[in-house]
Amino acid sequence: MKFAYKFSNLLGTVYRKGNIEFMKDGNTVLSPVGNRVTLFDLKSNNAETLPFTTQCNIACLAIAPDGCTAILIDEEGEASLVSLLSKSILHTHHFRKPIQCIKYSPDGKKFAVTKDNLVLVYHAPGKSRVINPFQLYRTFYGAYGETTSIDWTTDSRAFAVGGKDMNTRVYAAIKCDNLIVYSLGGHKDEIVGCYFEKESLDLYTVSRDGALNVWECDTDLENLHPADEEEVLPYSASVDEIENKDKAPETRSTHTESQNMDVEGKEKILYHRLAKYFFNKEGNFNNVTSTSFHKDTHILVTGFASGSFHIHELPDFNLIHSLSISDHQITSASFNFTGDWLALASSTLGQLLVWDWQSESYIMKQQGHFSNMLCLDYSPDGRYIATGGEDGKIKVWDTSSSFCFVTFSEHSAGVTGVQFTSSGQVIMSASLDGTVRAFDLHRYRNFRTFTSPRPTQFASLAVDSSGELVSAGSKDTFEVFVWSVRTGRLLDLLTGHEAPVVSLSFSSTSSLLASGSWDQTVTLWKIGEEKGARESVDVGHDVMSVSFRPDGGELAVSTLNAEITFWNVQTMTQTGSIDCRHDIGGGRGELDRVSAKTSSFGKSFQTLCYTADGESIIAGGQTKNVCVYHVREGLLMKKFEVTRNLSFDAVEEFLDKRKMTEFGPSAMIEMGEGEEGTAIKLPGVRSGDMSSRFYKPEIRVSCVRFSPTGREWAAVTTEGLLIYSLDANFTFDPFDLDIDITPENIRKEIKNKEYSKSIMMSFRLNQTSLINEVFEQVPVNNIEIISRNLPDVYVEKLLTFIASKLERSPHLHFYLLWCRALLLAHGPALKARAVKVMALMANLQKALTRKAEEVTKVCDNNYYQIEYIKALAIQRRIHKVTEQEVDLKSDDEISVLSMDDT
């Protein structure tokens, strides 16, 4: 099996922090998820996570007006210019300090960023032929505190900036004779948002305490008097030289205001306040946390810390709508281009929703797990993924759309294990609340609950291949419980372990159950008629995970000493082992006083999973790396680094001398009150410390699973649910290549109607476009003959090609005929090597099932449309007949009247 897997998508994390933005088309939302960006397409109902990453979590972003590029700025102030067309990073620029806000001018020629008490205006990248895409245009001073919000006028000649000093300042982006800087007060808290009216200098300002000021300018926008020549800063002047000017803020502000007042012969711009409104009219104090304003419709939305939002029409401040969506604050809000849809995001919940305020309905509502995810499992056809988290919820995700379509919240504690049954319609889950539950995916309900005779916490779960038995391992009583799924009765209670049972696995071919415990033993239990019979093996170290090979002939065991051992199930003898100590390679934590290499010796793999063919095994644990090993050779085949996000702990490989002091790492120094710093966490705390003011979550892999189709695998990490899949692009992989195998010779064979030979030659060259060209020129009448005469070595390749084409090709009937002919002709041969072709069959079943659902949906829509057209035609016919009767009746009355008159 080849391991050319690449990152394809991120599920489970819908929104992390930062502002959300709509694309130019108005149907796509850009949402920052950690150091990545996810595109939510509301029209086609799917999501895509872009492949590039930033160094830290994204703090703010801006999309260019043309929709081709975007600028992402992380927490450390590093900006990345990305192309939304090629989905790649074009350029990076470091601002050296955190950036609060960034916004493009409406004409797309400039963009402004707020940095400390400054506003930096840059030429927009791609609008001029310069070597440096981030060319500084001008720096604006005047604020006494951090600047927080920006808005441009519609002609891009002026912009307003709000800050924490409770003032809003209007600057001229070009040199004007009647405007340099104008400061507006009137608020008692920091400014959350400031917005210009369309084609006007009139201004709205919103403060955090819930006050809205309406400002009217006595000068129209077109009456801004530009000077004869713009004063542009020299290109050689750097940002640091501008910031380190020996000027006090008071001197600069007084100087600019005196300049504005000393201009003679020009109409000076003046503002006066028309009205002041308050959002907290009931008296309950509620901070405003986010705002957005749509200039065409004059609609203002304000999000509050209580989780509610208000929609007002300005300037009259008419309340249109108000709604509470959660109990946590709304972090970001944004209108789409037409102003019909409103996107709202909450960083605490990780929630993102799109609301149609006119029809008062949800367009999209997605939310990840409130806390860390712990476990996952693929459905048998690979279409769905079920995840369980510390919040006690189970979410089911569609791998094609990347959306969560159902959430089960019956558990009252963390979910430690989830698993699909063999039918794929039932999900089993185990939890620390002492219950094992069964959920039906048809009716979306919890139809069965399994409990133990006395209260216990379940740390592991396993379901047998028939779906009739479910077992769970106890964390505190050290027992293994086995229930019947059909009756719900407790069938057996397996005792013998002396420590928590942390892993369970059923054999797919026999009634064997393997259990691993922290008492350094692995036990094989026979379930059924010979119940009670067991065989226990001492592996010498605490067991972290156990997993059966797909054919049930081998058992893999991961232990605390970073070693994976393999055991023959029949004789229970060790057949091999892999030392993973040097492959774990975890990063160096902030509080570590040793190197990353030394600290990795105390880590181990906590989750194992065989590949579909059973030749390789994939492992993950307390590290950022996921490793793939060849079982027979005992070699490391591939190492995947799940993240490089420096916002997580244990990611950096080497010591950063900038964070070292004479007393040790700066993260270990506890600061006093009022100073920036962190408190030292309590020992053993993983997911946060209530006594710590700030902490970095440590990156870890809780669970990893291979898709039954063999085309992808997924890992539950601190960052979310990461999916890696095989690259669908063309890769040159010749199979039995000869010098005569050329595209010209293949096309000659097609003209000579040698279809079998041309198909085999195209697969030997392995060029997808050429295979497709040859394949679709085969006459339908020759499919069965070609399928019978095709060698076995090409059957698997042909079925793999058909499975990939079924999802995208419109020639559905043609490919179904090929499937039927191949399976009828080579069914016994495929059944003989069932283990090797299991992934292929699952991939083909997934493609057929998805295509069947799409066709069914289209047929249903067409059926209802035809019924509607028929009903409409009948109504029109009845209406027409009625009109004709009325016309005939009126004609008869007219003739009668004419006879009377005569």
Domain end, chosen from 346, 367, 388, is at 367
| Amino acid at site 393 | K
Domain end, chosen from 657, 690, 724, is at 724
> Would 756 be classed as within a structural domain?
no
- Please tell me the distance from the alpha carbon of residue 260 to that of residue 278, in angstroms, as a whole number: 32
By C-alpha distance, which of 637, 683, 679, 677 is closest to 659? 677
> Would 189 be classed as within a structural domain?
no
DSSP secondary structure of 167-218:
-EEEEESS-BSS-SEEEE---SS-EEEEEEPTTS--EEEEETTSEEEEEEES
Same domain, yes or no: 610 and 717:
yes
Sign of the dihedral through C-alpha 679, 682, 687, 691? negative
> Would 249 be classed as within a structural domain?
no
Q: How many CA atoms lie within 13 A of 274 on its CB side?
A: 13
> Would 892 be classed as within a structural domain?
yes
* H and E: helices and strands count for the chain: 11, 58
Same domain, yes or no: 642 and 709:
yes
DSSP secondary structure of 698-758:
BP-EEEEEE-TTSSEEEEEETTEEEEEEE--S-----SS--TT--HHHHHHHHHTT-HHHH
pLDDT at 887: 63
Bridge partner list, 865: none
Same domain, yes or no: 637 and 711:
yes
> Would 515 be classed as within a structural domain?
no
How many domains does the chain fold into? 3
pLDDT at 655: 65
- Please tell me the distance from the alpha carbon of residue 467 to that of residue 489, in angstroms, as a whole number: 15
Bridge partner list, 563: 559, 579
The domain that contains 343 carries what CATH number?
A: 2.40.10.480
pLDDT at 601: 63
- Please tell me the distance from the alpha carbon of residue 412 to that of residue 432, in angstroms, as a whole number: 8
Q: Which residue has the tokens 């806000």?
A: 101
Same domain, yes or no: 702 and 786:
no
By C-alpha distance, which of 22, 82, 11 is closest to 46? 11
> Would 814 be classed as within a structural domain?
yes
DSSP state of 679: P
- Please tell me the distance from the alpha carbon of residue 637 to that of residue 641, in angstroms, as a whole number: 14
Q: Quick check: 719 and 643 in contact, CB under 8 A?
A: yes
Q: Quick check: 374 and 414 in contact, CB under 8 A?
A: yes
By C-alpha distance, which of 504, 523, 522, 501 is closest to 461? 504
pLDDT at 521: 93
Same domain, yes or no: 705 and 824:
no
Q: Put the strands of the sheet holding 288-294 in their side by side order.
A: 288-294, 299-304, 308-313, 318-324
- Please tell me the distance from the alpha carbon of residue 415 to that of residue 689, in angstroms, as a whole number: 21
| 625-630 and 616-621 strand pairing | antiparallel
pLDDT at 77: 93
Q: What tokens appear for 232 in the block?
A: 């542009």
- Please tell me the distance from the alpha carbon of residue 202 to that of residue 213, in angstroms, as a whole number: 11
pTM (two decimals)? 0.79
Cβ neighbour number for residue 64 with a 10 Å cutoff? 19
By C-alpha distance, which of 885, 862, 866 is closest to 874? 866
Averages of pLDDT over each 10 residues, the chain, 902 residues: 80 92 92 94 90 93 93 94 92 92 93 93 80 87 91 93 94 86 91 94 94 91 64 37 40 37 59 90 74 94 92 92 89 93 92 91 91 91 92 92 92 94 92 94 93 92 92 93 92 91 91 92 84 80 93 92 91 90 75 62 85 89 90 89 85 68 60 46 56 67 89 91 74 58 80 81 77 82 82 79 77 83 81 68 77 82 87 85 64 44 38
DSSP secondary structure of 473-488:
EESSS--EEEEETTT-
Same domain, yes or no: 795 and 720:
no
Alpha carbon 399 to chain centroid, angstroms? 11
Q: Which helix (H) or strand (E) holds 822?
A: helix 812-832
DSSP secondary structure of 681-711:
PPTT--S--TT-S--PPBP-EEEEEE-TTSS
Q: Quick check: 569 and 555 in contact, CB under 8 A?
A: yes
pLDDT at 677: 45
Q: Quick check: 111 and 101 in contact, CB under 8 A?
A: no
Q: Is 648 exposed, middle or buried (0-12, 13-18, 19+ CB in 10 A)?
A: buried
Sign of the dihedral through C-alpha 465, 467, 469, 474? positive
Q: Which helix (H) or strand (E) holds 5?
A: strand 5-11
pLDDT at 776: 81
> Would 148 be classed as within a structural domain?
no
Domain end, chosen from 367, 383, 399, is at 367
Q: Which helix (H) or strand (E) holds 772?
A: helix 768-775
Same domain, yes or no: 720 and 830:
no
Same domain, yes or no: 619 and 708:
yes
- Residue 865 structural domain: 779-902
Same domain, yes or no: 653 and 787:
no
Alpha carbon 227 to chain centroid, angstroms? 49
